[in-house]
Amino acid sequence: MRLSAKSGLTALCLLMGTVSMPSSVFAGYDLNYVGEMETYTAVYEDTLVHLARKHDLGFVEVRAANPTLDPWIPGEGAEVILPKRHLLPDTKREGIVVNLPEMRVYAYLNGDEAPYTYPIGIGREGLATPTGETSIVRKKEGPTWRPTPRMRKEDPKLPASVPPGPENPLGTHALYFGWPTYAMHGTNKPFGIGRRVSSGCIRMYPEDIKKFFEQVPVGTKVTVVEQPIKLGWIDNDLYLEAHPDMAQAIKMEETGVVEQQTFREEDMERIMEMAGEYNDRINWPKVRAALRERTGYPVRIARNLDDVVVTDDVVAPEEKEGGTVFDAASKSEKVESSSVVEEPSFVPAKGVEQIEESHAGEAEALNAQDALVEIYGEDAAQDEAAALGAVKVKPEYVVYDSVPPRKPGIETEKPLTLNN
């Protein structure tokens, strides 16, 4: 069969890899998260905005994870939580996925390996980045910035165009969307990453846009979503990751806290749907705390205990090398020496099934270690555990002989609203 000149050229281009392939052929990652939590011990010169860039995080990400630290003077010796574990957005895993509330992009371009992920800056209030689907229609190294008529009206001193160079707000590289006037690009103001500061475009650190530019082919699908609350199973644990929503982001940036939380009925329905047959094991106090604090990293809210082997034997703790391990589920860190460190794990002398029958629906019975922390605080929780006569068993699973006593005002029923 003879090939025409046009079909022959097409075949040659395919062989040489110059034709962009559909992004769907790259999808295949089947875990529900990427990355691992870390901690960092600050030195005198550190600020959270500099640490964010150093560790490829956005400013609000780091601010939300460390609400008690002064963002400009965290202090020498301060332990800084680095929220590097991310649950994946609830959307089709193909091409580029942008989740606006967490100010982060995921690029499913690496086969069955984890997606590339980078922090981003997004549109400010009144000039929000749109949601929906589009694609990368072209790429440009050394882009020219042309201010829109609105920008020039607001600032008449702006030139008609700015050529490539250090004064160009687009930075060194740009990937243009099918949506007119929107793009993903670098920046000459990198401290705006992880903040709502742009006119609607998506900004990236200068070092990240260079890598992203090479990783993403023209034609790649782009999906922009708004999901402040994410859920996902990791092994036998269900995690919730709550970020400030679009209206709360500025408040979180300025103060490190978000006030007047609302637990929407649809959020509760999503949590129960994700928990599935284990929805009676949801720790609702931890859900409420996660939605109130909006720390932006995954917090364990339920456990699948079906594979727990209950025994009266005490399981020796694992020996670990010296270092720092961060337990995102309890929002605490355990500083370990070179000696063996015991990590308490408790179950009742009687079986899990008996506990479920006698205390069905009680978050404390199904996740008592977490409930004790909620009720008594970190320091007193261990004493209460000993008083209840629990015995050690398989690490990381926690239930008890009896429901821990409640302090007045501690609510364990499934809440509909959060007023604090």
The per-residue pLDDT for range 147-165, each reduced to its tens digit, is 888 888 888 888 888 999 9
Residue 183 backbone zone (phi > 0: left; psi -120 to 50: alpha; other: beta): beta
Fold of 20-35+85-225: L,D-transpeptidase catalytic domain-like (2.40.440)
Which residues are registered as beta bridge partners of 64?
none
The rounded mean pLDDT for the chain is 74
Active-site position among 86, 173, 201, 359? 201
pLDDT at residue 377 tops 60: no
Distance CA 356, CA 126 (A): 50
Q: What is the CB neighbour count within 10 angstroms for residue 146?
A: 14
Note if 201 is an active site residue: yes
pLDDT in tens, 204-246: 999 999 999 999 999 999 999 999 999 999 999 999 999 999 8
Active-site position among 86, 185, 243, 359? 185
Directed axis angle between helix 284-293 and helix 368-376, to 10°? 60
Is there a contact between 201 and 75 (Cβ–Cβ < 8 Å)?
Answer: no
Note if 185 is an active site residue: yes
Q: Which pLDDT score, from 0 to 100, does residue 306 have?
A: 61
Q: Which pLDDT score, from 0 to 100, does residue 258 have?
A: 80
Residue 163: HSE in the Cβ half-sphere, 13 Å Cα cutoff: 0
* First CA to last CA distance, the chain: 74
**Please, what's the largest Cα pairwise distance for the chain?**
86
Distance CA 391, CA 213 (A): 54
User: What is the pTM (predicted TM-score) of this model?
Assistant: 0.69
Distance CA 171, CA 275 (A): 44
How is the chain split into domains, by residue range? 20-35+85-225, 229-392
Q: Which pLDDT score, from 0 to 100, does residue 260 have?
A: 65
Is there a contact between 388 and 381 (Cβ–Cβ < 8 Å)?
Answer: no
Local structure of 418: helix, strand or coil: coil
- Lowest mean pLDDT across 76-85, 98-107, 340-349, 361-370: 340-349
